[in-house]
């Protein structure tokens, strides 16, 4: 795979895919790590006097121009983080506009391209479009590991027509995740949470083969409880996945992987309910909604963590965006923070919500590596190499 060390990019027109899909709350970016992630590659390309076009998406406008998804809000943060005075902004990724701006730009200048998902050519993979645009550039760089699971024009299309080079952050993500997966030390445990089991079945099936213990929390645990004939009251469930939940448990049993499911819970009447009640799993009533795992379950998980040599975490164990249902997630983050180094436990975390939870708990210190990626992290753990990474590997333009 070409990268910024083994492939020289100097005084070139660079098409640079970044992931600037940052969390935005009331117009404010609450986590800039995806911008910071691109900094190392961008700095290098600037100092090598390239004209750099930054291509990224924001949200899911699905091929339509929707103002609230414009990427222009990110310009001040880009300037600050990349430490540059000026960044051009290209509203339309068409040949005329690209030519005009390229001529105006000095070497070492940056130009941000408007949300690439405003174009219908992005998600449907339009190779004619990719070719036309690629003709105006010398090289393509992909530094967006967290978007590389998408088979979209800006991820796999440009790589068909230009020398395609892996950015520094993309390499760092792959190296760190692979290192963790390839150097497995037993006993190892995975903590898997989040709201939907449907998005995590393949992950669970793959992890069962590699981990000694898997703790399941979040609303996805409810589907398992229901499959095990527990009353889960008003809790979020995916009823049609009963059978899958049973299959996962059978596979775990067969492969000697211990599954930890909640034995107690913190419930509210709804997610806004700030007066939670504590329940043993056998005592859930019909108007209860399970919103966090309870203390006994948390303790079971914590004991398992400190007796493990490796811990992988994807997905909060409760509805952590709504206080007080962030409690167990925070406790787990802190247990990892205070014990990982001391007990020599290798730790890896990833997934958008997991990252926020770890940051909320100020527990970053406890992790050897925190991936910036959500879906891409998940798919990598499922054993699928991202289309974007495959495109880089297969690229043989010099």
- Contact positions vs ligand 3PG (CB under 6 A): 19, 21, 60, 146-147, 150, 374-375
From the list Mg ion, ligand 3PG, none, pick the one residue 146 interacts with, judged by a Cβ distance below 5 to 8 Å according to partner type. ligand 3PG
Examine residue 374 and tell whether it contacts Mg ion (CB under 5 A). Answer: yes
Which residue matches tokens 């992987």? 257
Examine residue 315 and tell whether it contacts Mg ion (CB under 5 A). Answer: no
Q: List the structure tokens of 283.
A: 């005592």
> Is 132 annotated as catalytic?
no
From the list Mg ion, ligand 3PG, none, pick the one residue 150 interacts with, judged by a Cβ distance below 5 to 8 Å according to partner type. ligand 3PG
Q: What is the smallest separation between the CB atom of 387 and ligand 3PG, expressed in angstroms?
A: 12
Burial group, residue 230, by CB count within 10 angstroms (0-12, 13-18, 19+):
middle
- Residue number with the shortest CB distance to ligand 3PG? 21
Q: What is the smallest separation between the CB atom of 21 and ligand 3PG, expressed in angstroms?
A: 3
Q: How far is CA 363 from CA 103, 193, 302, 312, 369, in A?
A: 47, 18, 15, 14, 12
From the list Mg ion, ligand 3PG, none, pick the one residue 21 interacts with, judged by a Cβ distance below 5 to 8 Å according to partner type. ligand 3PG
> Is 117 annotated as catalytic?
no
Catalytic residue among 217, 352, 366, 388: 352
Instruction: At 175, give phi and psi (nearest 5°).
Output: -60, -45
Q: What is the smallest separation between the CB atom of 152 and ligand 3PG, expressed in angstroms?
A: 8
Q: What is the smallest separation between the CB atom of 38 and ligand 3PG, expressed in angstroms?
A: 13
With a CB cutoff of 8 Å and minimum separation 6, the contacts of 250 are none
- HEC secondary structure over 282-347: HHCCCCCEEEEECHHHHHHHHHHHHCCCEEEEECCCCCCCCCCCCHHHHHHHHHHHHHCCCCCCEE
DSSP 148: T
* 324 vs 375 by CB, closer to Mg ion: 375
> Is 196 annotated as catalytic?
yes
* 203 vs 289 by CB, closer to ligand 3PG: 203
* 60 vs 341 by CB, closer to ligand 3PG: 60
Examine residue 59 and tell whether it contacts Mg ion (CB under 5 A). Answer: no
Q: How many Å apart are CA 38 and CA 172, to the nearest integer?
A: 11
Examine residue 108 and tell whether it contacts Mg ion (CB under 5 A). Answer: no
Q: List the structure tokens of 364.
A: 């970053």
Q: What is the smallest separation between the CB atom of 15 and Mg ion, expressed in angstroms?
A: 22
Catalytic residue among 49, 132, 196, 359: 196
Q: Which of 23, 59, 375, 383 binds Mg ion (CB under 5 A)?
A: 375
> Would you give the end-to-end CA distance of the chain in angstroms?
11
Catalytic residue among 359, 375, 383, 393: 375
Q: What is the smallest separation between the CB atom of 23 and ligand 3PG, expressed in angstroms?
A: 9
Binding to Mg ion (CB under 5 A) within 326-345 occurs at: none
Pairing of strands 289-293, 264-268: antiparallel
Torsion angle of the four alpha carbons 82, 36, 166, 398, in this order, in degrees rounded to the nearest 10:
0
> Is 28 annotated as catalytic?
no
Largest Cα separation within the chain, whole Å, is 70
Q: Which residues bind Mg ion (CB under 5 A)?
A: 374-375
The residues that are catalytic are: 34, 196, 352, 375
């Amino acid at each position: 795979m070409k990268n910024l060390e083994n492939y020289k990019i100097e005084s070139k027109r660079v098409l640079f895919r970044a992931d600037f899909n940052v969390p935005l709350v009331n117009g404010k970016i609450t986590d800039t790590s995806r911008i910071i992630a691109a900094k190392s590659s961008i700095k290098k390309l600037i100092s090598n006097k390239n004209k750099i076009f930054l291509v990224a998406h924001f949200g899911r406008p699905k091929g339509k121009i929707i103002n609230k998804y414009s990427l222009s809000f990110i310009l001040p943060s880009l300037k600050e983080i990349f430490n540059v005075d000026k960044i051009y902004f290209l509203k339309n990724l068409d040949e005329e506009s690209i030519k005009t701006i390229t001529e105006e730009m000095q070497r070492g200048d940056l130009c941000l391209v408007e949300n690439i998902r405003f174009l219908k050519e992005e998600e449907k993979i339009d190779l004619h479009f990719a070719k036309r645009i690629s003709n105006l550039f010398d090289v393509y760089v992909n530094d967006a590991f967290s978007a590389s699971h998408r088979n979209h024009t800006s991820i796999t299309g440009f790589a068909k027509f230009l020398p395609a080079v892996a950015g520094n952050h993309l390499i760092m993500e792959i190296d760190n995740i692979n290192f963790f997966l390839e150097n497995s030390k037993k006993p190892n445990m995975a903590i898997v949470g989040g709201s939907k089991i449907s998005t995590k079945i393949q992950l669970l099936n793959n992890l069962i083969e590699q981990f000694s213990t898997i703790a399941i929390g979040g609303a996805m645990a409810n589907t398992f409880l229901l499959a095990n004939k527990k009353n889960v009251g008003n809790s979020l469930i995916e009823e049609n996945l009963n059978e899958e939940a049973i299959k996962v448990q059978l596979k775990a049993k067969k492969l000697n992987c211990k599954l930890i499911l909640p034995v107690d819970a913190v419930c509210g009447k709804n997610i806004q309910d700030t007066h939670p009640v504590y329940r043993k799993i056998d005592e859930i009533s019909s108007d209860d909604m399970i919103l966090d795992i309870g203390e006994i379950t948390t303790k079971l998980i914590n004991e398992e963590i400190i007796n493990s040599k490796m811990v992988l975490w994807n997905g909060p164990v409760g509805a952590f965006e709504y206080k007080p249902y962030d409690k167990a997630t925070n406790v787990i983050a802190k247990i990892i923070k205070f014990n990982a180094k001391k007990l020599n436990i290798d730790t890896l975390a990833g997934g958008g919500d997991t990252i926020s939870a770890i940051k909320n708990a100020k527990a970053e210190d406890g992790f050897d590596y925190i991936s910036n990626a959500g879906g891409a992290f998940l798919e990598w753990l499922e054993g699928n190499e991202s289309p974007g990474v495959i495109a880089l590997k297969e690229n043989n333009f010099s």
